Structure 1
Amino acid sequence: MTVLGLGLMGQALAGAFLADGRPTTVWNRSATKAEPLVARGATLAASARDAVAASPLVVVCVSNYEVVHELLDPLADVLAGRVLVNLTSGTSQQARETARWAERRGISYLDGVIIATPQGIGAADTLLFYSGPRPVFDRHEPTLRILGGTTTYLGADHALSSLYDMAILTIMWNVLNGFLHGAALVGTAHVPAAAFAPAARKGIATVADWLTGYADQIDSGRYPALDATIDTHVAAMDHLIHEAEFLGVDAELPRFVKVLAERAVTGGHGGDSYAAMIEQFRKTSGG
């Protein structure tokens, strides 16, 4: 196979193929980045065109979709008839546009995302999502699984991988911001973040256990309050805001959360479970 783009992630991808004994051709604008891979047995192509021509399966991982097209648009003729797997992060719109670009040029295209750091590539629990034609994925799944044991096909819509990526990013930032805000709160009592972290981990795990039930409510459109109503949550949010203000900790984050919850109450969801907050996130900011 061929790997185009040898940043930290691209190097990890090529390294995983080499570790599995797969003949691997690599290319990067800065050829010096290929030297460690060449030392391990990779073939350095003289050009991107030569790299694409060397393999029926081409994996590209660069900084953004603009670079993807800058690199690959001139190579459409040599890419025709090959399989292109794009592991570059971007939006669902970019994924769909690239899929249409590939289809018009006779290129089999899979869009994918990596939910891991470069150090995680090749591990059994590393998660990668792919979307695109099922027969193309099935044919190359054994090779793609080299990059991560938890390789998941999402569906024919090329946008799904990017959508999952963005959805997981919003979870990540919300969890991290919550932990940081919590660490700031307990820090006012001289509690080290390291001492708070175990309790935070248990709290996050408890909330994670609620997700399946909340997902069922979201999909059904019914939000029975089996634990606490949004009205109850709003009262607790007041406590958090007052605590933060009293301690001199920034209260902007809990204030924003309370604004959303109050909109849900105004919309008639005060007696529903917190899952009903999905209705707020389905609206635009001006809606």
Structure 2
Amino acid sequence: MCPAARHRHPTFSTFVKESSRMSASTPQSAVTVLGLGPMGRALAGALLDAGLAVTVWNRTPGRDRELVARGAAGASSPESAVAASPLTVLCVVDYDAADAIVGREAVTSALKGRTLVNLTADTPARARETGAWAAAHGIGTPDAVFLHSGPEELYREHKPALDALGGTHTHLGADIGRAASYDLALLDIFWTAMAGYAHALALAKAEGVTARELAPFAQGIAAILPPLIETGAEEADTGSFSGDVNPITSAASSMKHIVQASEERGIDASVMRAAEGLARRVIGLGHGEDGFLRITDLLAPR
């Protein structure tokens, strides 16, 4: 998955599960990669480019050919791959797939005393469950998205190898689920924004505007978001949602126009209707002069 300090591609996230001890007999420069889909192959390639000794394994045979040709060692089993290095990078689609590999008795045994970096996106709760499993088997478990959480001394110990993967690395603290919380929040931003962009393209197309024609103006909209994110963060933390520039009553009005124009063209406007509905509820609660992020309070569990 991807560095979350600055997401290169939001489809990916990185979770780290680290052990309390390393194997003293294995070189620090040795790294194992389990799972050789597109991201796994890219990661193994980056580690090879950095001059590390890389061992690779994939459930489907044959995907290691190019990497082996570049100097990687192909392992016949995940347990032998894990045994080859003090640091293992697991890159699979989800925690069910991860558990199917590292949950095998032979692999679990091989991981004891080693570090596992699990590049698998899932919920904070699932990350903590995996952390509890690892702790019970003598494998410590920080989680990360190149935003690392867990024992800081282990993060520092393995940082040279992790740096070979690129990106910005930040340690967030000891809570195993903290990095996963960051990851999902960041992916929430991305996919909600992409859903909005997809809807905008459909609306534009219905009105005779091509995606290419709209693109430079869409980029202009994206450019105004960073300062809004910064001011919004302060507002959310302090609870003072200023509507001086754009009150939520104005936002609700513009969203209503989008819904109306979409439905006139037969375009599903359910996402925008949901956003407008939140805004109307906030207005109904007497916060019409506040900014749009006042809906944060409405969304929060009570």
Normalising to structure 1: TM-score of the pair? 0.88
SS of the aligned residue for 1:106 comes to: coil
Give the aligned residue type for 1:281. L
Q: 1:230 aligns with which of 219, 244, 248?
A: 248
Distance 2:202 2:94 in 1: 34
**Equivalent residue, structure 2, for 1:76:** 108
* 1:209-259 Cα shifts (integer Å, max 9, x gaps): 211111101001122223121122122222222222334433322221111
Deviation at 1:131, TM superposition (A): 2.0
Deviation at 1:20, TM superposition (A): 0.8
Distance 2:34 2:97 in 1: 11
Alignment of 1:94 onto 2:126:
yes
Distance 1:173 1:7 in 2: 22
**Equivalent residue, structure 2, for 1:121:** none
Give the aligned residue type for 1:76. T
1:179-194 counterparts in 2 under 5 A? 179-194=197-212
Task: Quote the sequence identity (%).
Answer: 40
Give the aligned residue type for 2:129. E
Whether the 8 Å contact between 1:92 and 1:160 is mirrored in structure 2 is yes
Give the aligned residue type for 1:134. E
Distance 1:35 1:139 in 2: 31
Distance 1:130 1:60 in 2: 15
**Equivalent residue, structure 2, for 1:4:** 34
Deviation at 1:206, TM superposition (A): 0.8
Give the aligned residue type for 1:218. A
Aligned CA RMSD, in angstroms, stands at 1.7
SS of the aligned residue for 1:265 comes to: helix
SS of the aligned residue for 2:268 comes to: coil
Distance 1:64 1:182 in 2: 31
Give the aligned residue type for 1:273. G
Distance 1:247 1:5 in 2: 45
Whether the 8 Å contact between 2:32 and 2:81 is mirrored in structure 1 is yes
Give the aligned residue type for 2:86. P
Q: How many aligned positions are there?
A: 270
Of residues 41-50 and 194-203 in structure 1, the stretch that sits farther from structure 2 once superposed is: 41-50
Deviation at 1:268, TM superposition (A): 2.6
Distance 1:231 1:189 in 2: 26
SS of the aligned residue for 1:150 comes to: coil
SS of the aligned residue for 1:209 comes to: helix
**Equivalent residue, structure 1, for 2:25:** none
Unaligned runs of 5+ in 1: 114-127
Higher fraction of helix: 1
Alignment of 1:36 onto 2:54:
no
Distance 1:62 1:111 in 2: 15
**Equivalent residue, structure 1, for 2:4:** none
Unaligned runs of 5+ in 2: 1-30
Alignment of 1:59 onto 2:89:
yes
Deviation at 1:207, TM superposition (A): 2.5
1:249-260 counterparts in 2 under 5 A? 249-260=267-278
**Equivalent residue, structure 2, for 1:168:** 186
* 1:122-168 Cα shifts (integer Å, max 9, x gaps): xxxxxx33222111111111211111232232222121222222112
Deviation at 1:111, TM superposition (A): 2.3
Alignment of 1:210 onto 2:219:
no
Deviation at 1:60, TM superposition (A): 0.9
Give the aligned residue type for 1:30. T
Q: 1:221 aligns with which of 211, 219, 239?
A: 239
Normalising to structure 2: TM-score of the pair? 0.84
Q: 1:109 aligns with which of 133, 141, 144?
A: 141
Q: 1:6 to 1:197 in 2, by over 3 A?
A: same
Whether the 8 Å contact between 1:87 and 1:111 is mirrored in structure 2 is no
Distance 2:179 2:235 in 1: 24
